[in-house]
Each structure stands twice: as C-alpha cells, then as structure tokens.
Structure 1
C-alpha cells in the first residue's frame, strides 16, 4: 500500500539539531544552507529536541502561492542579507520524514512507523511555523482533492510504500500535474496581402 503526500515547488533539505546547539540545514547534494535561512535555524533550536533529524522541503510563500524564485534568491544570501531576506520572504520547512530521534536511528523503520513518530513529535512538542507537517494520506479521494491546489503552486503528489525503510536516494514515485490548453496555431509564409501558404493545426500548450 502506498502513502500519498503533497509535492511542492521548493528545495529538498534535511534539518538536524545536535547536542550543544548546533543546527544543520543541508540540501540533497550536501550543501550547507543553514546560513541562508536563519529563521529555520532559530526555530529548530527553540522547538526541536536535541538529536533530531528531519527530511523535508524548504518553501517560500508570496501572494498566496509558492514562489520558487524567492527561494533561489534567498539561497545566495548570508549574514545581514539573509536576515533581511527572512523578514521579506520568510521560509517554511515542510517536514515529511523523521530520520533520527534521540539515540534512535529511524531510517530502518518502515515508513508507516516513521510517519507516526513524526506526527507524534509535532503533536507532543507543539511544533509551529515555520516548521510545518506535510499533509499525507492513504485515501485516494483525499489525494485527488489535493490535485486541485495548482493555483497555490502545488506540482503534484509523492507516493511512498508504507513498508519501505528510508533510502538516501529517491525511491518514491511522483505524479506531476500538467496543465494544458488546446489552441489553434496558424502559420503564414509570404506577405499577408499575398500569402503563399497557410497552415492551421491544433496543439496542447503546457
């Protein structure tokens, strides 16, 4: 059985809080992004217990929809510039997996257990923005409703097997939403007064 979760337009990132107050936010390629998102660092330090490792996605909202270009702009900023950008385009960390908790390595657990532990972490610790729990369901009807969220920048859905352990490489499937418009396209050669050929055809435009 598969578990569906929302797929957004953002940066995949792992968020870890270590003993001693160290926080690391890194990309899938291992790039340290902690300095670019000080609000995520401070929130993680304040809300998450030590020795916690999450997998999720960084997103930025602007005017009611996801703004990937703002996220790109933020990644290039550090220090004072990063703090200013955090006030102008605040980021959110959408968690969809729990990899480490206390002294326990959860990566060998099936996803259903990791998801239950992640939900319990949010509930017991009262985690709040900019930390967000990714919506997730096993109900096909609910997943179908989520596909209507394209106006907010939703790109599609991810599907994970409930019995699968965590894998460093992507092992889940993605269903990407494609919005098309059918149009009649015409082409004219020569001048409009003395056209030599006219071609008309239908096309689906993404």
Structure 2
C-alpha cells in the first residue's frame, strides 16, 4: 500500500524519568527532542507529482517551505519521512522564526525561505521506494534513513537526527544538549517497535528547571484558586506574563488562598486579554490579584519571546522573596536539583 497524506504521525507520552531498559520492545533508543514543528514529507509516488509537506494535524504546508520542496526534488520517489521542521538563528533554534515561516505564503514565503531557511531533522521513514514500512521494526526503518543520507550525501536542509542506545550518553544529552535553546529533552523509542500512526507509543522527557514568577492572576476564585498566571517585570517596569500553571492540588491551593489579595485599581494587567492556552484565541476568565506573592515553578525549556509555552508546575511559595527579587523578564531558569 502506498501512503498518501494525511497520515497521523506516531506520538510520545510524557514521562518524568528515564524508563527501564525493557519498557519498550527490543530495548531503548534515545533521540534529542527538538522544539520545532512535527512534519511528514512525501516525495511523488509512483507517478510524477508534487512534493508534499504535511503538518502533525494533517495540513499541507509545502507552499510555506519552498526551499524544502526544491531540495526534495532530488530525493528518491516514493519516500515518506517523519521529522521536525526547525529554523536556526545563529547557534540556537528559533521557534519565533519558525512561526513566521509557518504563517507565510506567496512572495513572503519565498522571501523568508531566503532569510530564515528551514531545516528538516529526519528521525524515521514510513515508506521507501514506494513500499510502506509501518510494520517494520524501528531498527530497519532507521537503517533506511541512514542509507538515504549516505547514498545521496545529504546535507542542508536535511539533518539526520542523532541517536544512542547508551543510557549514560542519553543522560548527558538531557543535561548538556538542552542548554541550547530549542532542544527540549529526549524521545525514547523501542528498537523493535512498529510505527503506529496516532498512537502515543514512544516516551518523551523534557528537561525541567526551577525558577520563580510573580502571581498576577488566577483562575477559579480567591478562596479556591485553580491555576496561576505568573509574570516578571521587564526593563521598563511592566509586568509581563511569562507562564500559566497546571491545575493546583487542593492543599497548595488552600495555602495559596491565604496569601492572595484581590487586585486594587491600577493592576498592570487590567487591560490584558488572556486565552485558555498558548496560541489559542479562546478567552480565559481570570481573577487579578495584587502582584506581591512569589511562586517557585518547575518549567521546561520551550519558550516563546520570554514566555513558557507549556503549562508550568507550581512547586511552592517563596515567602523569602519579594517581587523585586525575581529574575527580570527574558532571563532563564536554573537547573532543578536532583
């Protein structure tokens, strides 16, 4: 069977720590987790056709990445590659630049392809020579990817995703490589796993660090806060939103309720419109509170213009810190202990 878009990519379930060696079929393989856009790339098969780039949600986005389409014309026919779209800015990945690329079209897409070229980090092959590989074990599919890079001497915009089966190397990647903006953690696969579209059959671990934020608003009520909206002051003295927390557990919520005070007039977020999640347009109802309480939070490395994109975890109140002690807007986190 020849694969045709849209094809659901195989997904990963979040874990807090490295799994046991036998947790996935055939032993574990570790790959860096990049903070980009998941995509599948299809070369024409079997008759002449067009190169297709499909997003994780099934949208066809090849018109936004014309340089990838041109480069893919030199790849073999009947190929389907799974990977991550990224944009490099100097020595780090820029999610903001990738967003600009993903929202572009027409002449703007062509111009941005020159100014902010995209790269495709390949980590799997779903089809080769027009033959579907979904039932093949992962090691066979990886061999196909490595042969593709070797036989065609592939370079930019194509990148072969690094991988290791050495847990000590993987642990080093988790601590050292994630210091580079755009590298979030690890994806863990089984050497004998089949490719299961839409199934969370892999594992992922994000590097998590601790830092502080000023509680500027909550969802729920003052008596029963549910989530926190946290900010930091920028160089102009404006309180900027940097994170929203996951759901609070009952005991920390009760303790927080005793520390929070309803906002007086003139709160810095009085005119701010909040949404339910990063990238959403759905309004979020919040209760503004006086920005006097500092919380320690557990964060990952995925940031966009100074704000954490994924919900953060509340760790504890920092009653020993005043708002002025919190790092300024745009500064990073510190590695979590343990």
TM-score by structure 2 length? 0.54
- The 2-side partners of 1:202 and 1:178 are apart by 16
Residue by residue over 1:114-163, the C-alpha shift from the partner in whole angstroms, topping out at 9 and shown as x without a partner, is: 11111111111111110110011111122122121223221010001111
Give the distance between the partners of 2:137 and 2:97, measured in 1 at CA: 35
Matches within 5 A, 1:61-140: 61-140=88-167
CA contact (8 A) 1:65 1:151 kept: no
Counterpart position of 2:68: 40
1:33 shift after superposition: 0.8
Counterpart-to-counterpart distance in 1, 2:191 and 2:185? 19
Task: Give the aligned partner of residue 173 of structure 1.
Answer: 203
CA deviation profile, 1:156-206 (whole Å, cap 9, x unmatched): 1000111111111132100111121479x9x8x9xxxxxxxxx99883564
Whole-angstrom CA distance in 2 between matches of 1:119 and 1:80: 35
* Aligned-residue RMSD, C-alpha: 2.3
After superposing the two structures, state which structure 1 stretch, 136-145 or 29-38, moved more.
Answer: 136-145
Aligned residues: 195
Q: Is the 8 A contact 2:77 2:130 kept in 1?
A: no
In structure 2, the partner of 1:11 is 37
Which structure has greater helix proportion?
Answer: 1
- Compute the TM-score of the two structures, normalised by the length of structure 1: 0.87
Equivalents in 1 of 2:105, 2:293: separation in Å?
Answer: 52
2:190 aligned with 1:164, yes or no?
no
Q: Point out where structure 2 has 5 or more consecutive residues left out of the alignment.
A: 1-26, 216-258, 262-291, 300-338
SS of 2:195's equivalent?
Answer: coil
State the alpha-carbon separation in 1 of the partners of residues 293 and 113 from structure 2: 50
1:150 matched to 2:178? The reply is yes
Q: Point out which structure has higher relative CO (alpha carbons under 8 A, 6+ apart).
A: 1
Report the Cα distance in structure 2 between the residues aligned to 1:43 and 1:24, rounded to whole angstroms.
12
